[in-house]
Structure 1
Amino acid sequence: MVSVSLTLSVPERVWIGELSREFPETTVRVRSAQSCDGVGVGFVEILAPEPDRVLDRMRAYDAVHELEIFQRGTDRALVQFETDEPLLLRILDRTGVPVEMPFEIVDGEVDWELTTTRNRLSSLADELDRSEVRFIVEHVWDSPRFDRVLTDRQSEVVETAIDLGYYDSPRGCTQGELADELGLAKSTCCEILHRAEERIVKEFEGGDRPAFTKPAPA
């Protein structure tokens, strides 16, 4: 697992790339977003000196539908919209890479923070290249390693689950399919996964951590 900080440059042919460059002083903060059947839904905060001008321009794009305003102030607006041109979401969907929310779009550039496997990171880079999205890797660092708190078997099960999309939303595989991939009985797979998840949660939440120097057998 690795964590990566990326700066992306959205092509001007894509409406959000054009919009953010037309209003370079505007920050589009994406609080949540998802796509389904080629349609993207975004819940975003518009931070701008004149947010109404930005919203009027958004409405003018053929690719933007059902723009709904939840809050509006002198320098910000909270909106939800649909688009049939969700370029960034399509890239994430194809690669199964989760990106930390919120992320911001300013003057055609997007900052992404993500944690994934090296294989999925490679797939993401390939998808970005194919989509004409230029990107710069700002920083790469090793994520906290599972092997600090997990047994080898637990690490194998968790990492396989991640690769197969078990933790994606919607799930990329069932627990039964995960067990089949690992050659385990479903009950055994469930027990190993449960123990591994317990250790990970305690480690990352700073609670009671496993008191051992060498992982005990699964």
Structure 2
Amino acid sequence: MINARFRIELPETVWIAEVSDEFPRATFRLLSGYRTDDTALELGEVTAERPADVVEAIRSHPSIDDCDRLQSEDGRALTKYETSDTDLYEFVELSSLTIEFPVDVRNGWFEFDLTGTREELDRLQEVLDSASLSYELLSLVGSAESEGPLTDRQREVLEAAVREGYFDVPRECLLEELADDLGVDTSTASVVIRRGESRLVKWHLTGSANGRLE
């Protein structure tokens, strides 16, 4: 699995792009939302010097059908609104991803986190390239296979090898002793250890247990 954070330029036609351009120092945080037919219901937070002005700009935008300010305090306002602009959800459907909240918007750009497979990440980049949208990969905080680099059996054998001192220098446990402790023959223990070591090395160097260095 991959955990990544993207920063993507909003299309000018999206309502939040217009409002964030009008208030470039404000931060918009989409806390939750879902689409129902031709509209989307969303819960959003605004952080700004004068959040009431930003909320009023949201309420008066043609794409906003309804807007309620739920909470307001110095520099922050929480709003619930309905919008006819569902481009964000259509974009997500094209990339076959789910929305991970919160989604942050600042000065015409939005940032979001993605957790998925390498194939899903590649598909997202294809969608962005075909849409001619400017984007940045801000971080790639983790990369591993969905079930880890090791099979259950490999993990079991390697954990026993570490526990018994098979990898210590000098060795505190012979292969024959480890195999006997596991209840397998020596050749089986040797094969499982070699394959597990190979998968760990490839995973560490390439991010995939089956990867190759280019």
- Look up the match of 2:182: none
- Look up the match of 1:193: none
Alpha-carbon offset, residue 151 of structure 1: 4.5
In structure 2, the CA distance between the partners of 1:94 and 1:150, relative to structure 1 (3 Å rule), is farther
Between 63-72 and 34-43, report the one with greater CA deviation.
34-43
Partner of 1:28: helix, strand, or coil?
A: strand
- Look up the match of 1:113: 113
In structure 2, the CA distance between the partners of 1:66 and 1:111, relative to structure 1 (3 Å rule), is same
Contact persistence 1:98–1:115 (CA under 8 A): no
- Look up the match of 1:172: none
- Look up the match of 2:179: none
Alpha-carbon offset, residue 102 of structure 1: 1.6
In structure 2, the CA distance between the partners of 1:129 and 1:42, relative to structure 1 (3 Å rule), is farther
- Look up the match of 1:48: 48
Between 20-29 and 70-79, report the one with greater CA deviation.
70-79
In structure 2, the CA distance between the partners of 1:150 and 1:108, relative to structure 1 (3 Å rule), is farther
Aligned counterparts of 1:95 and 1:6: Cα–Cα separation in 2: 14
Aligned counterparts of 2:85 and 2:11: Cα–Cα separation in 1: 12
5+ long unaligned stretches in structure 1 = 153-212
Aligned counterparts of 2:90 and 2:33: Cα–Cα separation in 1: 11
Contact persistence 2:64–2:82 (CA under 8 A): yes
In structure 2, the CA distance between the partners of 1:67 and 1:150, relative to structure 1 (3 Å rule), is farther
- Look up the match of 1:59: 59
Partner of 1:49: helix, strand, or coil?
A: coil
In structure 2, the CA distance between the partners of 1:41 and 1:131, relative to structure 1 (3 Å rule), is farther
Partner of 2:148: helix, strand, or coil?
A: helix
- Look up the match of 2:7: 7
5+ long unaligned stretches in structure 2 = 154-192, 197-214
Aligned counterparts of 1:22 and 1:130: Cα–Cα separation in 2: 28
- Look up the match of 2:17: 17
Aligned counterparts of 2:126 and 2:38: Cα–Cα separation in 1: 20
Q: Structure 1: which amino acid aligns with 2:139?
A: H
Aligned counterparts of 1:21 and 1:140: Cα–Cα separation in 2: 28
TM-score by length of 2: 0.63
Contact persistence 1:26–1:106 (CA under 8 A): yes
Q: Structure 2: which amino acid aligns with 1:115?
A: T
Alpha-carbon offset, residue 3 of structure 1: 1.8
- Look up the match of 1:147: 148
Partner of 2:11: helix, strand, or coil?
A: coil
Aligned counterparts of 2:88 and 2:134: Cα–Cα separation in 1: 12
Aligned counterparts of 2:40 and 2:131: Cα–Cα separation in 1: 17
Number of aligned residue pairs: give it.
154
Alpha-carbon offset, residue 142 of structure 1: 4.0
Check if 1:86 corresponds to 2:89. no
Percent identity, aligned pairs only, is: 25
Between 131-140 and 73-82, report the one with greater CA deviation.
131-140
In structure 2, the CA distance between the partners of 1:78 and 1:141, relative to structure 1 (3 Å rule), is closer
- Look up the match of 1:30: 30
Highest Rg: 1 or 2? 2
Map 1:161-200; keep pairs closer than 5 Å.
Answer: none
Contact persistence 1:11–1:132 (CA under 8 A): no
Partner of 2:43: helix, strand, or coil?
A: strand
Partner of 1:11: helix, strand, or coil?
A: coil
RMSD: 2.3
Alpha-carbon offset, residue 148 of structure 1: 4.6
In structure 2, the CA distance between the partners of 1:50 and 1:141, relative to structure 1 (3 Å rule), is closer
